[in-house]
Every structure is written in C-alpha cells, then in structure tokens.
Structure 1
C-alpha cells in the first residue's frame, strides 16, 4: 500500500502475535512464502496509463518508486503503527533522520521550540543548527517539572521535544501532564521513544502527538542495520509525510527487511534485556566503588513511581557513577573483557562508554555540569549475555579503579 504504514483495523491478537504476522496476511502474493521477499528495486512499472496515474498520485495499491513506497516498508510500518497505537508510521534511513523530519515538519522561521536538556546528542545538535539557520529560538529545560515547561511557553512556541527516559541520567517526564498542557496551548509534542520501545511505553495513548524511534536500537536488535520510524495519528502525520517526501530519507529495502527480521523477536529479547539489566543494576548499586545508579526500574530512583505510572516495563540502558578519581576511569574501561566500549546500544551485545568522552570536543565544562555529566559517569547497555558473566566482568573492572 502506498500510504506507508497505515494501521490495520484493531486486531484480536496480542501485540506479540501482531509483531509476527500483522501486515503479512496477503502472503499468497509472494507464493505463500513464510518470510516476505526483499523487493530490491528502485522503481515499479505500471501495466497501463491509468495505473501509472494512480501510482504517481499514491492511489490504490500501485507503487512507483521505492523512495515513495515499497512493500517491505509497508509490512514493517503496519506493525510499528499497531504497536504504538497510531494511525500510521513512516520508515526513515536512521533515527536521527526520523527526529529531524518530525521537527522540521512543525518548525517555522521565527518560531520557538522547547526541548529537554538531556536529549540524545545529535537531536540537541540539530536544534542548535536550526537556531542558526532558521532564526529559531530553542529553550532547554530539565523536563522534570511541568511548571517549568509552562513558565517558558511563548506565544510563538510551536514544538516541545521530549525523550523519556532521557539520555545520560535517564530522568522521565510526566507525559500525561505535558501532553495536556501542550494540547491546551496548541503546541505539538514529539518524543523519542527508542529507550522504552513500544512494548514498554505508548506515548500516543498518554496524549503525545508524534513518536520517533531509532530502529537501529532495540527494534532491530542485532547491531547490523540503521533505520528510524515516525508514528502519529493522521492529522499530525500530514506535514510529516510532506517533509519526508521532500527530504527523501528512505532506507534500502534490504535494511527494512533486516529490521523486520529483528522486530519479530522484540518481545522475547526485551524480557531478557530487562531481567539482565535489573540484576546488573542491583549489583552496581550495592558495589562500594559505585556512587549512584541512574535507572528508573530501581525503587531508589527519584522518579520511580512516575516511571511505573506511564511505563509497563524498563529496558536495559542506564548509567552509573563511579566513586573514583578522573584519572582512574581508564583502568575501569580497560579492565572490561566481555563488555565492549562503543557508542550505540540496543543490540544483543553489552556495551558501555564514558559519556563525557563520547561527546567529543565542543562542549564546555559548564555545559557538562548543567547536564549532570561528569568524568565518572558511565552509560551501560546490558545485552543478552548470561547475567553472571556480566557481573563478573564488571566486578573485575571495578577492582582496577
């Protein structure tokens, strides 16, 4: 279907079943293959003049050009739209492109955007770029208090950009209260839901307008492809579709096929990720070399009750602070054997990084302090390895500090 990712009528099946089968009901078109084929083509031809007119105008089930639509995209987007409870979804070439398209769809020159301070780094950088290029004003807030948000709303505020749980310290925002405030003020809300996944948090049901995902992370789950999603109801999706079409940020069909392959195991993977993460977080919280663990699943987390009220589960990404001098941090990271050092997360493998170093150059100490990022802050993604092996690896590295 050309109208990418339109959600099917409400299914009678559980979401785990829909992940496996929704959007694939007409597999007789593919000789009843269990796995849909890869439509590795740049264009589609039409049998008649009339069919070509339909294809160009995105009418009916005619395809014209993969940048505008492809069966691999549609199968995948129907599943994601259903998971998030939105009318439709769009597939993009990366999570960064998904967020950029969603922001550009609503940002206008001379306007005002409010964003939480601890956003994913490239999203924050993109907002700074828009300040320079489009004469936009961006106000960064903690996001912890809806009154803080209400105080900075201006007559020209167009958009609020959220990420809950947020990067770095994993604070959560009260999505219900923020959504109600923004709806009443005519402001569009956009959230990065990559951390929670649609299994553990459904922002559209809490009143948020637009949901963005990096499919590179948990949705694909195998660290072998890059992609992104935008999900919304029809009214909010129209400007996003126009922006998406103009930018041309569609992945290759093979990338969509890889994401689909990974998505099929999302429920079982997330259960294991969550189980492992809680074991590791409890171990770290009790370790004498660890000062603090920032993980909403822990009862010690300051916003634990709020997180539970809007999330049905917790993923395996969190951070912790070591009780160590800055010059001893290198010994911790070099002492790891099983857990690798790297930037990304959401795959099968456990991976960590020193958050401050991960930013590279260009940030001042004052900016790091404002975001709560110190030399001792470590971000950890807990993978699917045996939890005991991960505990042993961390314990061995912590003894080096």
Structure 2
C-alpha cells in the first residue's frame, strides 16, 4: 500500500460525508438502533460496529485504519494517551504469577508501570540492558510471558536488536511488545521483524503540533479485538473523536515534517559533536555510536531526538546553558513543530524526584526551525558554560 494512498485516501469514505475533503468529527456518544433485533446484532459484534463511542467511533476508526496500514498491521486500536496504549498492551498479555523482561531506562511512565504497578498485582519484572540480546535470554524464567522493547529508548537512545530478541521470544513462547514512538512507522516497522504488538505515543510525531494526546496499539486482528473487549472497554482510556481528527490531520504532513526534522537534526548533531564544551552526543545515527550499524539496519532514517553531555562538573553551568537558550523551549515530550530541551538537572534538588542519569545530560528534540537559527542559539548559550 503506497504511503500517499494511506495518508490521503485510505478510510476516507468521502461519499458518505457530502464529499467533504476533510473528514467530519463524529461528535456523538451514542449510535441509535431501529429495532431490538438490530441492537441485539450490534451487541453481538461490538468490536466491529458503531454502538457507543467508548467502543468505536468513525473518526477514531479512520485514524486506526491509517496507523495499522502504516505499521503493516491487520488492525489497530487508539487510546487517549501513549501510556494508556502501553499499559493496555502489557496488561493484555500478563496475569498474576507471570514474569516480564523489560528494557532498562524506558519512558518514565512505562518504567513506573513495570516497577511499581505490575508488582502490586503479582507480576514480576526484570529490567535488562537491551544492547545485548543475550541479556533478554539470560533473564528468562519458566513463567516469562512478555519481552518489552523500546528501540531506541527514551533518553539515552540505546537500541535493541529487534530480530534477535524476537527469535529468543519465539523460541520460548513469549510475546513481544515494542514502543516505536521514536522512529515512527515511516522509519521503522517492527511487525515486519516479527514483533507481536507495536505501540505509539501519537502525542509525539503523529500529532506533530503539540496540541493533542493519543496512543495506539497495532497488531493482529484477533489480538486487537481481545484488547478491545477486555482492557479497552473495561478501563475506558479512549481517544475522543476530536483528538482523533487532529491526529489524522497530523498524519497528512508526517512525511514532510520527518524529512525536515531528520535533515536539521543531522546538522545540529554534527555541530555539537565537534564542540569543545560538549563531552558526548548520544544519537543512534552518529557514526561513532557503537550501535550505528544496527541503527542503519533497523531504521530507514534518523529522527529528531538526541542527548548531549556537557563538559562541566558544575550544575550551575548546566543551568546557565539551558536558561541561556532563546529558541529552544524547555518542556517534556517531543515531536511537534518546536525545538525542545529537557535537562536532567531539572530533576535534581527537587525534594521528591532524582534521576539516575548525570545532571550534565540534556535531551534535545529538533523541530521545524531553520538549522542556522538553532545553531546560532546553541553557540551563544554554550559560550556561557
């Protein structure tokens, strides 16, 4: 299926909507039935019909069809946030007494799910360094049911060898789930490498404008329908129709935005890699990265996130650099039109949270600004260090 067809035509059904080019927002909670017999049939087939928007909604379905096609999946189901999708995917595969092997240093709320939430319900979790696939194998137990990946991971951007870990999982009858938010379906397709379920935070690149939240799970039709009738309908973390419409709008420009982000990021990384005040740049597509060949093998292109380590032992110098940036916003998340930084130093001396990462680390996200505009800003801020 061609990319342009997926983004512009798949699931549009314009003849049903007065031939409107932009799809309508079906802003309804209920769908009416004409007869008892019709309602009976709808209740029997609720995963595949429009009965109640807490289940299915046409605007949400449009997004799900496009995301499934982009990932090469049979089906997809959308949620109100990325962590809702992650949580539902994980909960759908485990029960009390089971064991999960998870990548170390995943997204912070995935980490909370694994280390705080699941153990409350009798699910054991082992966190491993995923840069060596054998670490997954060595962590296996007789009750292991799930291997969880996030490649690259959220802050230091280590990759996992997806095919190698999938082979381990299949040999031991384990399910694999991967968070593919970093790469987007344009640059990495884990289902084609044998992964069972792919999750995305649509809040990031899919939305692309920092104005909507959402998540999605992609996989086989049977698996997604099981999630629908259990975790999705029971926990109710649904995506509302207006949010789905915004995410569909974001998909229209995803290829253009990703091309721009990738090109600008390469220039910014090249500049910072050669700067005397930068100790290290953590970025999968840097040729000096030990996982560079794996990145080239698994991903079709780079995206906009990387982390730098400043060459200083003074946290005040880190603050001066971050506060001195004029054109990078300081915020969580990423994937929008604006460039961002997230300094680890912000988590120090807060009294209630302390990162395990060094305070000299700063995560960057590169948006759609002109690269020279950003480089000039970095230059003047680095002069303060």
Q: Which TM bucket (shorter chain)?
A: over 0.9
CA contact (8 A) 1:54 1:62 kept: no
Q: Give the Å deviation of 1:89.
A: 0.3
Q: Give the Å deviation of 1:245.
A: 1.5
* Residue in 2 that maps onto 1:234: 221
CA contact (8 A) 2:81 2:203 kept: yes
Q: Give the Å deviation of 1:43.
A: 0.6
* Residue in 1 that maps onto 2:243: 255
* Residue in 2 that maps onto 1:7: none
Structure 1 residue runs without a partner (length 5+): 1-10
From 315, 318, 324, give the equivalent of 2:303.
315
* Residue in 2 that maps onto 1:139: 126
CA contact (8 A) 1:160 1:190 kept: yes
Residue 292 of structure 2 corresponds to residue 304 of structure 1: yes
* Residue in 2 that maps onto 1:275: 263
Q: Give the Å deviation of 1:176.
A: 0.3
Aligned mates of 1:62, 1:117 — CA distance in 2 = 40
CA contact (8 A) 1:353 1:380 kept: yes
What TM-score does the superposition give when structure 1 sets the normalisation length?
Answer: 0.92
From 330, 352, 361, give the equivalent of 2:341.
352
Distance 1:227 1:59, change over 3 A: closer
Residue 272 of structure 2 corresponds to residue 284 of structure 1: yes
Matches within 5 A, 1:50-199: 50-58=37-45, 62-199=49-186
Aligned mates of 1:356, 1:50 — CA distance in 2 = 62
Partner SS, residue 267 of structure 2? helix
Aligned mates of 2:354, 2:267 — CA distance in 1 = 35
Q: Give the Å deviation of 1:161.
A: 1.1
Q: Once superposed, what is the RMSD of the aligned Cα atoms? A: 1.6
Aligned mates of 2:351, 2:254 — CA distance in 1 = 35
Give aligned pairs, total. 382
Residue 383 of structure 2 corresponds to residue 399 of structure 1: yes
Deviations 1:84-108 (A, max 9, x none): 0111000000001000000110121
Runs of 4+ in 1 over 3 A off after TM superposition: 59-62, 358-365
Distance 1:227 1:350, change over 3 A: same
Aligned mates of 2:195, 2:260 — CA distance in 1 = 28
Residue 14 of structure 2 corresponds to residue 27 of structure 1: yes
Residue 184 of structure 2 corresponds to residue 200 of structure 1: no
Aligned mates of 2:47, 2:18 — CA distance in 1 = 22
Structure 2 residue runs without a partner (length 5+): none
Q: Give the Å deviation of 1:361.
A: 5.5
Q: Give the Å deviation of 1:126.
A: 1.1
From 187, 190, 214, give the equivalent of 2:201.
214
What TM-score does the superposition give when structure 2 sets the normalisation length?
Answer: 0.96
CA contact (8 A) 1:110 1:135 kept: yes
